[in-house]
Amino acid sequence: MAIYKRHKGRRLKRSDRDWDKGTWWIEFSLRGNYVHESIPGARTQAQAERAENKRREEIYEGKYNPVKKLFSEFVDETFLPWSTANKRSHREDEQRSVTLKGFFGEKHLRDIKPMMIEKFKRERLATPTKHDTEERPRPRSPASVNRDLACLSKILSMAFDNELIDSNPMRRVRLLKENGSRERFITADEEVKLFAKLTGRRDHIRSVVTVALNTGMRRGEILDLQWEHVNFIARTIFIARSKTGKTRTIPMNDIVFEELKALKQDAGTRDFVFSVSKTGVNIDSIKTGWRNACAAAGLVDLRFHDTRHTFATRLRANGVHEWDIRDLLGHTTTRMTSVYTHQTPANLRQAVTTLGQSKPGRVVRFPRKNRDSQRERKAG
């Protein structure tokens, strides 16, 4: 028989300063039933003991029916509504939830154990992506599987907070070791090839790519951009909604200024700069147009998000300070910015070339002082 208090996932002792904040829990095994549940209504240990005795009577009388929630039910009823209300990336959670429900959907939350998650991790990593082909292999990356596991961990953490499970089994599961940070950016030659294919059926995303390469804006920020946030007088773009929740202002260079000026025409201030009705642009058309343009141009392993890497890399190559690049990208730390800035081959070549241009140094010898004269001065 075990009756104890717990607070924020931690078992308490009577000497603990959080003792009064804790919730009483009961834990015991009887006739093949394992009972481990909180008694939130109990204010004293005696009340918790009465609750335990009641559970024992239910087991003896065959009336004990523990609450078992299916994983899929909890995801649909609790996790996804919370994600939609609190996260801008809720669509990503919806997509990952489909994968997670495919594996854990008919399992009860209490039945999900670390070894089951390990099995999911192995199978998920071995599952090819939808773009994986014999001509262009693209296996699933450890980073992608880790994002699935992070979503799973949040779901199980919420189940724990709702007292549907006793602990989060993800705490005992290690994430996969990820490869080094991605170092892919668009070279000048690749940019020429890419824009040569952004014509005809793909002409509608030409302006999107132009803005992305010259502002470093995220795809979601571009799609959320409204004309009221484009200031042609100050030549700035105001980002009202960002991934980090912080606003920022990006100056427009001549390329972006002329591109947006041509798109403005008679659009209202509340209109979106890029919309399906006026420009034929949405998230699906960008994905399809980008993928087809890269394939037509013969560009391998290039993603739309790499436009941000390209923007940052080009700024760094032009000597822009890392703090300024951080602010333009909307990062909170320069550590994250360093992931986006890469040295170009030309810059590295120039750095090595400077070694051959330097002149060898000359050793300077200083006259040695007479130790005897120093001793005489000290004695005097």
Domain at 301, CATH number: 1.10.443.10
Q: Does residue 240 sit in the same domain as residue 332?
A: yes
Of 35-49, 199-213, 273-287, 336-350, the poorest mean pLDDT is in 336-350
Range of the structural domain that residue 76 is part of: 71-172
- Average pLDDT of the chain, as a whole number: 85
**Per-residue pLDDT averaged across 31-35, rounded?**
80
Q: Does residue 167 sit in the same domain as residue 144?
A: yes
The answer to whether position 351 is within a domain reads no
What is the tens place of the pLDDT at every residue in 2-21?
A: 899 988 778 899 999 999 98
Q: Does residue 301 sit in the same domain as residue 196?
A: yes
pTM, two decimal places:
0.59
Where is the domain boundary, 146, 172, 198? 172
Of 258-262, 269-273, 365-369, the poorest mean pLDDT is in 365-369
- Distance separating alpha carbons of residues 313 and 7, to the nearest angstrom: 48
Of 89-98, 163-172, 176-185, the poorest mean pLDDT is in 176-185
Q: Does residue 46 sit in the same domain as residue 19?
A: yes
Q: Does residue 55 sit in the same domain as residue 137?
A: no
What is the tens place of the pLDDT at every residue in 117-148?
A: 999 999 999 988 876 566 666 778 898 999 99
Q: Are 231 and 261 in contact (CB under 8 A)?
A: no
The answer to whether position 357 is within a domain reads no
Single-letter amino acid code for the residue at 231: N
The answer to whether position 239 is within a domain reads yes
User: Closest Cα partner for 24 from 14, 159, 32, 168?
Assistant: 14
| Residues with Cβ within 8 Å of residue 93, at least 6 apart in sequence | 79, 80, 83, 87, 151
The answer to whether position 348 is within a domain reads no
The answer to whether position 345 is within a domain reads no
The token duo for 161 is 């907070």
CATH of the domain at 112: 1.10.150
Where is the domain boundary, 111, 145, 172? 172
The answer to whether position 183 is within a domain reads no
3-class secondary-structure state, position 82: helix
Q: Does residue 12 sit in the same domain as residue 44?
A: yes
Q: Does residue 220 sit in the same domain as residue 314?
A: yes
- pLDDT band at residue 379, thresholds of 50, 70 and 90? low
Q: Does residue 222 sit in the same domain as residue 334?
A: yes
Q: Does residue 18 sit in the same domain as residue 159?
A: no
**Per-residue pLDDT averaged across 307-317, rounded?**
90
| Residues with Cβ within 8 Å of residue 348, at least 6 apart in sequence | none
pLDDT higher at 155 or 220: 155
Q: Does residue 192 sit in the same domain as residue 149?
A: no
**Burial class of residue 291 (count of CB atoms within 10 Å of its CB; 0-12, 13-18, 19+):** middle
If one counts the domains in the chain, the total is 3
The answer to whether position 320 is within a domain reads yes
Q: Does residue 20 sit in the same domain as residue 101?
A: no
Q: Does residue 203 sit in the same domain as residue 307?
A: yes
The answer to whether position 347 is within a domain reads no
